[in-house]
Every structure is written in structure tokens, then in C-alpha cells.
């Protein structure tokens, strides 16, 4: 039953992302390296073959690894994820691409009713090592259905890991870790960071970050911004700008919403006593609500002010001409920091 | 010559050869049945009798509170056992919730096969070991799994086919469409068996589909459709065996519609008298899968009183064993609820596990 190598030609030396590299290149490199490392890895999705994906994340994979390893599927997301379930049942390690956040919804039943619980309902006999890559979030001028932040739907489903990189380096490392994971991972790619650059090359040996560890991107003594994915650069910018106000803000990048690294977050917030959670998706019932609740439960006696949230409004994602009003920006974050009851502290 | 004559726009498949027969294919009671091997007929007969008894016993167990629910396949035993027998040991079966009998006929331990219906939280059997996917309750969602598994087997160069079961109601779901389309595009070695038993709980066929038959739907996907008398075990067995052989030979998927009837209500919790009349049920009882096989065997002198009695005794023994084994309350460990959510439990799950453990210890002490 172990999958033999497919009939595709053996890949030549895979192209290696050159410095500086974009997040898109790092993701492509991660897929390449995973395809080389494990013959069980198969990439499938809409337009992932000849075109290389609408964001070019799978650029050249079909050419270099063959159509059987990087497959253009019919246009049907439930079918993509449903067949990936069967492939995983047979021992393969599918990496599926959902073309856009809002196009992933037809696959929701497969995700909730099967992907998330197959390991559990078979008492561990059928783990499903599927990575579901979903470009998500706004800020790219997309028309409707192209800018959703859908993470809350996924993190509310037990059995899934929900991972989202915010840096070029993490894009590579977390994707490799997700593909290597024996659990299903919803891998949310912040599409407006696809073209962000870093002085990075996968040739330099780096530790692959374990899934479920937050990282302190900036330490600060006044208050802590807790964020992930597309909002990290905004928070770092806000922290820089806050220096003018006399605030020394720290920034925590969660990297993984499930598992949620409660220990790191609680330790940092205990140090500052003030926290703001920042994300693009709607605030009501969003990831920030859960994070704020857990901080309150764990750090109540250390808190100088209620944990605040800066999130997208509770509206359908707005049209591109208005999205700047919706997305959490530096000013809105600093306004929230200003409301952290400094006078009483 | 216009662009409409270029390969991209010409029909990709010829429709004619894919069309099903006008009437359901039958073998029992026809001259064709004469060439069927006696050993196959007696094997099918034994399976039918045991299957019928299994359905009756499982239904009785719901009344005794030993099963939470049982969707009976009484009247559909020919489809159930033929699906199991058409597969080789390396092939995979993808059952729906009404197909416990197919799972048992494939060789899965009956108590394990009934685990979920008993009210437990897991499938009971190991799908990899038995090559039987978990019984699928969300309709038609198991069909793309069968396609993906068959596709993976083909990519791996393995001689493995998959057979996926669905009902007439399930064909209305989007996953039915997506699975058949993927299967045909990928030429996956998979067979779809639609058991058209006339009802989706209470909703009759006429409100489910306006297609000439479900088998006709195959043509739209570019795969052959076969229509078969679902109560004729020999016919279903032959059609499914041919389809599985065809899949294994690399010739792609087949859609088989088996015309049958759900003699019992949807489940023990359903009242079928609210939506159908007794005459209809009686008409189908006159075309019963066990009777059809008995008549064939009797006509060919293959069934004497001794064989009839031996078969009945075997069925009774199986039912008695099932009763006996289902009599014990299953021992469920609540702590195991946390064990298989992830490969490694998250910190939050560990915390909740500790909470439940403390609650259980407090319960034991009180």
C-alpha cells in the first residue's frame, strides 16, 4: 500500500529562491522541497498545473514533477478536498490549493464532517495528513468573494490545525511543517504578503518552526499587540509609530491559531499588563474574542486594562474602493492602545 | 472545417455505448441463468438468507435498546451482498449508513460493524485492515473519497479498485456530481452503485429526479451506465463484477443503478405508513431477493430441504451469536474522547482531559 514513486520524471535540481525572496517564492520552494523529500506528497487544485496557480505559488511544479504530482483538477472544491481524503486514506500526503478564501466554502462539509474527524472516528487508524492551502484576507483590491478572512470558521472545528505565516521565512518553514504533520492543516496564506520580500534563502539551514508556537516579534514593556498573518506588518508599524507617543509596544505573532500558544501569550501579557488583539476578520465571534477571553482567564490579576480588540467591522467584506476603512490600520491600533486606561495604571 | 470541428470542441466521448439498457438487467428466472455456476448461486443464497436474518436481528436489537438506531436494508440484501462479493481482497468498499450488511458480508465482524449504530463514538473496525471505509452518514460525501483512493491506487501502480454505495436520495447531493465528474476525468478505477430503493426517508423518486434513470446520468460524465434488477442477486453480482474488472483493467469508472425497494421504514424511528401504502410494499414483497434466488435454485434442483434447513440454521446461529454479544453493555472510556482528536493533544485538550478525569474520580468517590 505504500505509494511508489509516480511515473513523472525525476526532478532535476529544484530552482532555489534567490535573495531577496518573496513569500510566494518561499511557498513555492517549500512545495518543491516537500515534493522532492517525500514521494507521497501530491499537489492538487484549480489552475495549479500549467498556469502555476493564479498567484503562481505552484509555478513550474507540474513541469518539474509531472501532472501526477501537481494536478489541475476539475473546478469543484468539495471534489478537490473529498478526493484528497481518499488519497490520504491510501497513504498519500495531499496538498490542496483552494484558489481564494471564499471559494473554499463548497469544501466545508468535507472539511468539517470528514477531514477534521476521520482520525478520531477511526480511533487513530485513519489519520488524514492533508494540507489545505487557502489564500486569505484583503488589501489587494479584490472584488467581492476574493478578500475574506475565514479563519474563525476553521478554528472552531476540532481536529484541524490552523496555521498562518506572516513572514517569508515562516511561509517556508510552516508550510514544510504543515505538510509533514500527520494532522490536517488549514494553511492560511495572507495574500497581500505574497509579494513581501526578505533576505532569505532556504539553502541556509534553519530550524523548521514547530506548529503551535507563537513568536515575539518585538519586545516591549508598555503593552502587547497580539496578531497573526496579514496584520503583523501593520502591528510592527504601529509599534514603531507608538514610540512617538512614549509607548514601548511588544508584538506577538501567533503563527498558529490552532494549536493556540497560550503559554507564550500569557507570559508576555503578564509582563506588560495590557494587550490588544489585532486581526482583519470580523470581530464578533472572531479569533480575537477567544484570545481575549483566554488572556483574561489566565492573566486577570496582571491586567491593568481590559483586553481590547481591533478587528474588521462586522460587515460583509467591503468593495476595494472602501476596504482601507475596514482593515485595521496603524491609527486604529494606536487609538486602541490609547484606551488601555493609562491614567489609572 | 470550423473551430467546432477541432478536437477541443468535438464530443470527448461517444454517448451511444455509454447508455444503459432500456430495462433493468435480469438473470434469475431467465434462460441466461442456466449458465450460472451452481456454487455461485448457493453462495449467494446463503449470503441472502444470513443477510435477511441479520437485518431482522439488528432491527430487533433497536427495540431492545441494544442499538441506538438501525437503518435496515431488508429487501435490498441482493445489492448489499453482491457489492461485497464483487470485490477482491485488496479492493475498497465505501458504504453509506444503510450498508452495514455489505460491510458484514465483506467480512467485518458484525459487532464491530454496528459500533457507531450502537451509540459509540468510533467506527469499530480498522478501515485499512478491512479495506472498508467508515459508514458514511453525510450523504454522498463518501463518493469523492472512493474516487481519491482509487486514483491514489492507480498512481501507485496498484491493482486496486473501489466500490462506493449511495442511495437515490444521495444522487441529488453535489458530492455525487463532483465525484462522478472527477472519476471520469481521472479514469479512476471506481464503481458507483446507486441503490434506488424508491424513497429518501419519505420523499419518493418522482420528487427526487426527473432523469430517465439514474444510470442515464453516467452518460453526462462520460462513463457507462448500467441498469440492473437490484433484487436479482446474480444480476447485480454479474454487473458489479464486470464493472470492477473494467475498472481494474484501466478502463475507468462505471455507474450502476440497482432498482430495489426499502421494505422497512427508513429507520426504527420512522413511520412509513405516513407516506406509502401497503399495496406497493406487497407488490415488492412479491419480487423479493431471497424468494427469487430460492425459486431459481429450486427450479434447477439445487435446493433441497437439507440445504434449506442448514442455511436457516446457520443464519439462526449468527443471529444468536449477535444477540449474545450485543447483550453486554459496551465499555466506553470517556477519557478516550481526547485521545484521537490530534496526533498529539493540544494544551487546551490536556487541560480539558484533566478536568474530566477529576470529575470522573469525584463521581467514583461519591
Tens of pLDDT, residues B24-62:
999 999 999 999 999 999 999 999 999 999 999 999 999
- Is residue A314 a part of any domain in this protein? yes
* DSSP assignments along B324-350, one per residue: HHHHSPP---GGGGGTTSSSS--HHHH
A250 touches chain B (CB under 8 A): no
How many angstroms separate the CA of residue A249 from the nearest CA in chain B?
27
3-state DSSP assignment of residue B280: helix
Peptide bond just before A96 cis, omega within 30 deg: no
Kindly report the average pLDDT of chain B as a whole number.
96
Report residue A339's pLDDT band, with 50, 70 and 90 as the boundaries: very high
Give the three-state DSSP class for B36: coil
Residue (of B350, B327, B326, B324) closest to B339 by Cα position: B350
d(CA A23, CA A28): 9
Peptide bond into A20 cis (omega under 30): yes
Chain A residues in contact with B144 (beta carbon < 8 A): 78-79, 81-83, 85-86, 110
pLDDT value of residue A11: 52
Active site residues of A: 146
Classify the complex by whether its ipTM is higher than 0.95, answering yes or no: yes
* pLDDT of residue B8 exceeding 90: no
pLDDT of residue B292: 98
CA–CA gap between residue A253 and residue A251 (Å, rounded): 7
Q: Which of A198, A232, A247 is the last residue of a domain?
A: A198
Q: Are A304 and A209 in contact (CB under 8 A)?
A: no
Q: What is the pLDDT of residue A16?
A: 78
Contact A122 B134 (CB under 8 A): yes
Residues in A touching B181 (Cβ below 8 Å): 74, 76, 79
A46 and A177 in a single domain? The answer is yes
User: Chain A closest CA to B142's CA: distance in Å?
Assistant: 8
Give me the domain span that covers residue A264: 215-338
Q: b/e per residue, B279-302, with b = 16+ CB within 10 A?
A: eebeebeebbbbebbbebbeeeee
Q: Which of A92, A121, A263 sits opposite B123 (nearest CB)?
A: A121
Residue showing cell 465571534:
A285
Exposed, middle or buried, B313 (CB in 10 Å: 0-12/13-18/19+)?
exposed
Same domain, A186 and A243: no
**Pair B296, B33: CB distance under 8 Å:** yes
Distance, in Å, from the CA atom of A198 to the CA atom of A325, rounded to the nearest integer, reads 28
Please tell me the distance from the alpha carbon of residue B24 to that of residue B271, in angstroms, as a whole number.
Answer: 29
**Are residues A155 and A304 both part of a single domain?**
no
Q: Is A290 helix (H, G, I), strand (E, B) or coil?
A: helix
Q: Is residue A345 over pLDDT 50?
A: no
Compute the distance between CA of residue A111 and CA of residue A116 in angstroms, rounded to an integer: 6
Using alpha carbons, list the distances in angstroms from residue A252 to A161, A225, A239, A263: 19, 6, 11, 12
Q: Which residue in A76, A78, A125 is closest to B128 by CB distance?
A: A125
Q: Is residue A10 part of a domain?
A: no
DSSP state, residue B66: S
Residues A288, A154 share a domain: no
Q: Which helix (H) or strand (E) holds B360?
A: helix B347-365
Asked whether the predicted pLDDT for residue B63 surpasses 80, the reply is yes
Please indicate, yes or no, whether residues A228 and A104 belong to a single structural domain of this protein. no
Domain identity same for A194 and A329: no
CB contact under 8 A, A78 and B174: yes
Most B CBs within 10 Å, among A6, A45, A82, A290, to test the B interface:
A82
Using CB atoms, which residue from A87, A114, A124 is nearest to B340? A124
In a domain, A345, yes or no: no
What's the rounded Cα separation, in Å, for the pair A201 and A29? 9
Helix, strand or coil for residue A96?
strand
A274 — contact with chain B (CB < 8 Å)? no
Look up residue B67 and give its three cell numbers.
Answer: 442499538
Helix then strand then coil, % of chain B, to nearest 5: 50, 10, 40
- pLDDT category at A201 given cuts 50, 70, 90 is confident
In a domain, A270, yes or no: yes
Pick from A24-38, B215-229, B326-340: least confident = B326-340
How would residue A208 be classed by pLDDT, with cut points 50, 70 and 90?
Answer: confident
For B154-204, the pLDDT digits (tens) are 999 999 999 999 999 999 999 999 999 999 999 999 999 999 999 999 999
* CATH code, domain with A271: 3.40.50.920
Contacts A–B by Cβ distance under 8 A: 151
Q: What is the pLDDT of residue A4?
A: 41
- Tell me if A332 is assigned to some domain: yes
Q: Which of B255, B270, B246, B69 is nearest to B170 (CA)?
A: B255
Residue A146, SS3?
coil
Alpha helix ranges (H) inside B203-304: 217-221, 233-248, 278-285, 289-299
pLDDT score at A7: 45
Q: Residues B304-318: what's their mean pLDDT?
A: 97
Of A42, A87, A122, the CB nearest to B149: A87
- Interchain proximity B127–A89, CB inside 8 Å: yes
Instruction: Answer yes or no: do A165 and A265 share one domain.
Output: no
Report the alpha-carbon distance of residue B118 to residue A321 in Å, rounded.
Answer: 56
The minimum CA-CA distance between B291 and chain A, rounded to whole Å, is: 37
CB B266 within 8 A of CB B82: no
Whether A127 and A42 share a structural domain:
yes
**Of B125, B129, B149, which to mutate for an interface test with A (greatest number of A Cβ within 10 Å)?**
B149
- How far is residue A223's CA from residue A270's CA, in Å, rounded to a whole number? 10
**Chain B neighbors of A38, CB-CB under 8 A:** none
- Reported confidence tier of residue A344, pLDDT bands at 50, 70, 90: low
Mean pLDDT to the nearest integer, B361-366: 92
For residues B38 and B297, give the distance between their C-alpha atoms in angstroms, rounded to a whole number.
8
For residue A327, give the H/E element and its range: none
**Mean pLDDT computed over every residue of chain A:** 94
CATH of the domain at A161: 3.40.50.970
Same domain, A137 and A57: yes
Answer with the residue of higher pLDDT: B9 or B136. B136
Distance from CA of A126 to the nearest CA of B (A): 7
| Structure-block grid coordinates of residue B201 | 426517508
In a domain, A37, yes or no: yes
Contact partners, residue A315, CB within 8 Å, separation at least 6: A282, A326
Name every chain B residue with its beta carbon within 8 A of the beta carbon of A86.
Answer: 144-152, 162
Q: Among A144, A166, A198, give the residue marking a domain's end.
A: A198
Question: A69 to chain B: nearest residue by CA?
Answer: B155
Asked if B182's CB is within 8 angstroms of A79's CB, the reply is: yes
* pLDDT reading at A2 higher than 90: no
Q: Do A37 and A162 lie in a common domain?
A: yes
- Of the candidates A241, A201, A206, A212, the one whose C-alpha atom is nearest the C-alpha of residue A225 is A241
Nearest to A172 by CA among A139, A140, A198: A198
Closest residue by Cα to residue B104 from B260, B259, B321, B291: B321
Sheet of B190-196: strands edge to edge?
B92-94, B162-167, B190-196, B254-259, B225-229
Average the pLDDT over A190-206 and give the result. 88
Nearest chain A residue to B130 by CA: give it: A125
Q: Is residue A90 part of a domain?
A: yes
Q: How far is the C-alpha of A110 from the C-alpha of A115, rounded, in Å?
A: 6
Q: Cell for B168?
A: 437515490
Q: How far apart are CA A145 and CA A318, in angstroms?
A: 10
B23's torsion region: left (phi>0), alpha (psi -120 to 50) or beta?
A: beta
What is d(CA B334, CA B338) in angstroms, rounded to the nearest whole number?
Answer: 8
CA A174 to chain centre: 9
Cβ contact A266:A291 at 8 Å:
no
Q: Can you tell me the mean pLDDT for B215-235?
A: 98
Q: How many domains does chain A have?
A: 2
Q: How far apart are CA B48 and CA B315, in angstroms?
A: 10
Q: Would residue A187 count as lying in a domain?
A: yes
Q: Nearest CA to CA, how far is A172 from chain B (Å)? A: 22
Using an 8 Å Cβ cutoff, are B189 and B250 in contact? yes
Instruction: Write down the pLDDT at residue A343.
Output: 83
| Dist. CA A197–CA A22, nearest whole Å | 4
SS3 state of residue A42: strand
Residues A185 and A62 in one domain: yes
Comparing A200-214, B10-24, B50-64, B266-280, the range with the smallest average pLDDT is: A200-214
Strand partners, A135: A189
Question: What phi and psi, each to the nearest 5 degrees, are found at residue B324?
Answer: -60, -50
Which A positions 127-166 lie with beta carbon below 8 A of chain B?
127, 158-159, 161
Best mutation target among A78, A83, A107 (most B Cβ atoms within 10 Å) is A83
Per-residue pLDDT tens digits for A80-109: 999 999 999 999 999 999 999 999 999 999
Q: Does A262 touch chain B (CB under 8 A)?
A: yes
Whether A14 has a pLDDT exceeding 70, the answer reads no
Residues A48 and A172 reside in one and the same domain: yes
B152 close to A (CB below 8 A): yes
Distances (CA, A) of B43 to A24, A117, B183, B343: 60, 37, 32, 43
Q: For a pLDDT cut of 70, what percent of chain B falls above it?
A: 100
Is A1 a residue whose pLDDT tops 60? no
Terminal Cα-to-Cα distance of chain B (whole angstroms): 88
Whether residue B298 has a cis bond before it, omega within 30° of 0: no
Residue A4 grid cell: 511508489
Q: How distant is the alpha carbon of residue B104 from its chain centre?
A: 10
Residue B114 in contact with residue B196, Cβ under 8 Å? no
Instruction: Tell me the nearest-neighbour CA distance from A251 into chain B, angstroms.
Output: 22
Closest CA to A179 of A128, A215, A115, A114: A128
Amino acid at each position: 500500500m505504500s505509494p511508489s514513486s509516480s511515473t513523472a520524471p525525476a526532478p532535476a535540481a529544484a530552482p532555489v529562491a534567490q535573495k531577496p525572496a518573496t513569500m510566494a517564492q518561499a511557498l513555492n520552494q517549500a512545495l518543491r522541497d516537500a515534493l522532492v523529500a517525500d514521494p507521497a506528497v501530491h499537489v492538487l487544485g484549480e489552475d495549479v498545473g500549467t498556469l502555476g496557480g493564479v498567484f503562481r505559488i505552484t509555478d513550474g511544479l507540474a513541469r518539474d514533477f509531472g501532472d501526477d504530482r501537481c494536478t489541475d483538477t476539475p473546478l469543484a472544491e468539495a471534489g478537490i478536498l473529498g478526493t484528497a481524503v481518499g488519497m490520504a486514506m491510501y497513504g498519500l500526503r495531499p496538498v490542496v490549493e483552494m484558489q481564494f478564501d471564499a471559494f473554499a466554502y463548497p469544501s466545508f462539509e468535507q472539511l468539517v464532517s470528514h477531514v477534521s474527524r476521520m482520525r478520531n472516528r477511526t480511533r487513530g487508524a485513519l489519520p488524514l495528513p492533508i494540507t489545505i492551502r487557502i489564500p486569505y484576507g484583503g488589501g489587494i483590491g479584490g472584488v467581492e468573494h476574493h478578500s475574506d478572512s475565514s479563519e474563525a470558521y476553521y478554528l472552531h472545528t476540532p481536529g484541524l490545525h490552523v496555521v498562518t505565516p506572516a513572514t517569508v521565512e515562516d511561509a517556508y518553514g510552516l508550510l514544510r511543517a504543515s505538510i509533514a504533520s500527520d494532522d490536517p492543516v488549514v494553511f492560511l496564506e495572507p495574500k497581500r504578503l505574497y509579494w513581501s520580500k526578505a533576505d532569505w534563502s532556504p539553502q541556509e539551514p534553519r530550524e523548521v518552526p514547530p506548529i503551535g508556537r507563537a513568536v515575539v516579534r518585538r519586545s516591549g514593556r508598555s503593552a502587547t499587540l497580539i496578531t497573526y498573518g496579514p496584520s503583523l506588518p501593520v502591528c510592527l508599524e504601529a509599534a514603531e509609530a507608538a514610540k512617538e507617543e512614549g509607548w514601548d509596544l511588544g508584538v506577538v505573532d501567533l503563527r498558529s491559531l490552532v494549536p493556540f500558544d497560550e503559554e507564550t501569550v500569557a507570559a508576555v501579557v503578564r509582563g506588560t499588563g495590557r494587550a490588544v488583539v489585532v486581526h482583519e476578520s470580523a470581530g464578533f465571534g472572531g479569533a480575537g474574542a477567544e484570545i481575549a477571553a483566554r488572556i483574561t482567564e489566565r492573566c486577570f490579576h496582571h491586567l491593568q486594562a481590559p483586553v481590547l480588540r481591533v478587528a474588521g467591522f462586522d460587515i460583509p467584506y467591503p468593495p476595494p474602493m472602501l476596504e482601507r476603512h475596514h482593515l485595521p490600520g496603524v491609527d486604529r491600533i494606536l487609538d486602541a492602545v490609547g484606551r488601555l486606561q493609562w491614567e489609572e495604571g | 472545417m470550423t473551430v467546432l470541428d477541432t478536437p477541443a470542441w468535438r464530443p470527448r466521448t461517444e454517448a451511444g455505448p455509454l447508455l444503459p439498457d432500456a430495462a433493468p438487467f435480469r438473470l434469475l428466472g431467465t434462460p441466461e441463468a442456466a449458465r450460472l455456476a451452481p456454487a455461485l448461486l448457493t453462495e449467494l443464497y446463503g449470503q441472502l438468507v444470513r443477510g435477511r436474518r441479520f437485518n431482522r436481528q439488528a432491527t430487533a436489537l433497536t427495540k431492545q435498546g441494544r442499538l441506538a438506531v438501525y437503518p435496515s436494508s431488508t429487501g435490498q440484501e441482493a445489492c448489499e451482498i453482491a457489492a461485497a462479493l464483487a470485490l477482491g481482497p485488496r479492493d475498497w468498499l465505501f458504504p453509506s449508513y444503510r450498508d452495514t450488511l455489505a460491510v458484514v458480508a465483506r467480512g467485518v465482524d458484525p459487532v464491530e460493524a454496528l459500533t457507531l449504530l450502537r451509540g459509540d463514538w468510533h467506527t469499530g473496525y480498522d478501515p485499512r485492515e478491512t479495506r472498508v471505509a467508515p459508514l458514511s452518514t453525510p450523504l454522498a460525501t463518501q463518493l469523492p473519497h472512493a474516487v481519491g483512493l482509487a486514483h491514489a491506487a492507480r498512481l501507485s501502480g496498484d491493482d486496486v479498485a473501489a466500490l462506493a454505495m449511495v442511495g437515490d436520495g444521495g444522487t441529488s447531493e453535489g458530492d455525487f456530481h463532483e465525484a462522478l465528474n472527477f472519476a471520469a476525468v481521472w479514469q479512476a478505477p471506481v464503481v458507483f452503485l446507486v441503490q434506488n430503493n424508491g424513497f429518501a426517508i419519505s420523499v419518493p423518486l418522482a420528487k427526487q429526479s426527473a432523469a430517465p434513470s439514474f444510470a442515464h446520468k453516467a452518460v453526462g460524465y462520460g462513463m457507462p451506465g448500467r441498469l440492473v434488477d437490484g433484487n436479482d442477486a446474480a444480476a447485480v453480482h454479474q454487473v458489479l463484477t464486470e464493472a470492477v474488472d473494467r475498472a481494474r483493467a484501466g478502463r475507468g469508472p462505471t455507474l450502476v443503478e440497482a432498482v430495489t425497494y426499502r421494505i422497512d421504514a427508513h429507520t426504527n424511528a420512522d413511520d412509513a405508513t405516513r407516506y406509502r401504502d401497503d399495496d406497493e410494499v406487497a407488490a415488492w414483497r412479491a419480487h423479493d431477493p431471497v424468494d427469487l434466488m430460492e425459486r431459481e435454485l429450486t427450479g434447477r434442483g439445487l435446493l433441497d430441504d437439507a440445504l434449506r434447513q442448514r442455511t436457516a440454521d446457520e443464519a439462526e446461529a449468527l443471529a444468536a451469536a449477535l444477540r449474545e454479544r450485543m447483550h453486554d453493555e459496551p465499555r466506553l472510556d470517556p477519557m478516550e474522547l481526547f485521545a484521537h482528536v490530534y496526533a498529539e493533544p493540544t494544551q487546551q485538550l490536556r487541560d480539558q482531559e484533566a478536568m474530566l478525569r477529576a470529575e470522573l474520580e469525584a463521581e467514583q468517590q461519591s
